[in-house]
Amino acid sequence: MFGFSIGKIIVLAAIIAAVWYGYKFVYRLDQNRKREAEKSKLKKTETINKMVKCPSCGTYAVDTGAARCGVCGSPY
C-alpha cells in the first residue's frame, strides 16, 4: 500500500493519544495548582477586607463572625 500497515497506524495513533492525554493531564495539574494559588490569595484578601466598623464606638475590628463589637459589645 503506501508503505505503512494498519498495525503501524494503530501504534502511531496510540503514541499520539498518549502524548495528547499526557499533555492534557500535565496542563490540568498546572491549572489546578494555579487555581489553588489564586484561591488562597483571594482568601487572604478576603480576610483583610473583612474589617468592620462598630456603629456605636467606631472601632475597626476583624469580622470573626461573632457580629459583636470586641470593644463595646454592641452588635454590628
Q: Given the rule CB under 5 A, which residues bind Zn ion?
A: 54, 57, 69, 71-72
Q: How far apart are CB 74 and Zn ion at their closest, in Å?
A: 5
Closer of 2 and 60 to Zn ion (Cβ) = 60
Closer of 22 and 73 to Zn ion (Cβ) = 73
Contact predicate 54/74, CB 8 Å: yes
Closer of 12 and 72 to Zn ion (Cβ) = 72
Q: Which amino acid is at 59?
A: T
